[in-house]
Amino acid sequence: MQQITFILNGEKQVVSADPSSRLLDILRDTLGLTAVKEGCGEGECGACSVLKDGKLVNSCIVPMGSVDGAEITTLEGLRDTAEGENIISAYADSGAVQCGFCTPGMVMAAAALLRENPEPDEQEIREALSGNLCRCTGYNLLVKGVTLASERGKEKGIWQ
C-alpha cells in the first residue's frame, strides 16, 4: 500500500492503494465514481475512459502508481460543465444513446477530441472514437453527435 496523491475532477485526492491496482477500481469501488464503466478490463472497449493529464486513457489499464501527481478527469467532473453538457446533450439530441453503457466513455472521447480539434471532420471523429466500442448504434449517430457538439460548441464559444 502506498499514499497516492492526485487531482481528481479538480480537487486534490489522497488514496492509499497498491501501486499496481487499477485506477478503474479506485474510481469505482473506493471513490464511488460509477460513470466510469468496466466493459472489458483489458483496454479494448473504452467504457472506462477518463482523461489523464488531458489525454484519453482506459482506466482499467492505468496502474495507480502512475497516477501519483497526475490530473484525472472522469465524466463526474465534466458533466456539469458547459463543455460536458454540450457533448451530453448533443449525443442525446442525435439519437446516439441506446443502451448507454458505452456512452460515458464516448463522452470522454469526444471531449478529448474537441479540445484538440474543435471542428473535426467525419474521418477525424471516427478516428477519435475508434478506441471505444459500441454494439448498439453502428456508430453513425455517435459521429453525428460529435459533429453537433462541435457546431453548438463553436456557437457557444466553448473552446475559446
Partner 1 sequence: MHQSINNDFLQKAIGTPVRRLDALDKASGRAKYIADMKFDGLLYARMIRSSRARARLLHVAVPALPEGYYYISSNDIPEGGENRLYMITNDWRVFAEDTVRYIGETIGLLVGPDRNVLRDLEREIKISYEDLEPAFTIDEGLAVKGGPIHGEDNIFAEYNLKKGDPDSIFSGSYRIVEDEILTGFQEHAYMEPQGMVGEYKNGKYVITASCQCPYYMRKAVAGILAVDQEDIVVSQAITGGAFGGKEHFPDVIAGPLVVAVHVIRKPVQIVFDRHEDISFTAKRHPSRTRFRTAIDENNRIVGMDIDIAINGGGYQSCSHIVLQRAMFSVNSVYDLPNIRIRGRAVATNTFPSDAFRGFGAPQGIFACEMHMSHLARALEMDDAEFKQQYFVQTGGTTVTNGMIHEEVKLPEMLEKVLESSGYIEKNRLYAGEGAAKAVGISFYNHGGGFTGDGEKEIIKARVRVSRDQNHKVTIYVSNVEMGQGFQTTACKVAAKVLGIPLQDVFFQNPDTSVVPNSGPTVASRSMMIVGKLVERAARQLKNSWNDQGAVDAEEDYVQPPGIEWNSTTFQGDAYPAFGWGICAVEVAVDPATAEVETKGIWTVHDIGVPIDDLIVHGQVHGGVIQALGYGSLEKLEVKNGAFLQNTFADYIIPTTMDFPAVESDLVENPYEYGPFGAKGMGELVFDGAAAAYAAAVQKAVDRDICSIPVNPELIMKLRQA
Stretch that binds partner 1, among 8-16, 49-57, 61-69, 102-110 (CB under 8 A): 102-110
DSSP letter string, 82-132: HHHHHHHHHHHHHT--SS-SSHHHHHHHHHHHHHH-SS--HHHHHHHTTTS
Q: Which one of 4, 8, 70, 88 is in contact with partner 1 (CB under 8 A)?
A: 88
d(CA 104, CA 110): 10
Q: Which one of 56, 97, 114, 149 is in contact with partner 1 (CB under 8 A)?
A: 97
Rounded to the nearest 5 percent, the helix, strand and coil shares of the chain are 45, 15, 40
Total interface residues for partner 1 by CB under 8 A:
56
- The residue written with cell numbers 480537487 in the block is 11
Q: Determine if 95 is a binding residue for partner 1 (CB under 8 A).
A: yes
d(CA 74, CA 7): 11
- The residue written with cell numbers 474543435 in the block is 118
d(CA 114, CA 84): 11
Q: Determine if 120 is a binding residue for partner 1 (CB under 8 A).
A: no
Of 64 and 75, CB closest to partner 1: 75
Q: Determine if 48 is a binding residue for partner 1 (CB under 8 A).
A: no
Stretch that binds partner 1, among 4-12, 29-37, 50-58, 63-71 (CB under 8 A): 29-37
Residues near partner 1 (CB under 8 A) = 28, 34-42, 44-45, 47, 74-76, 79, 84-85, 87-89, 91-104, 107, 122, 125-127, 129-143
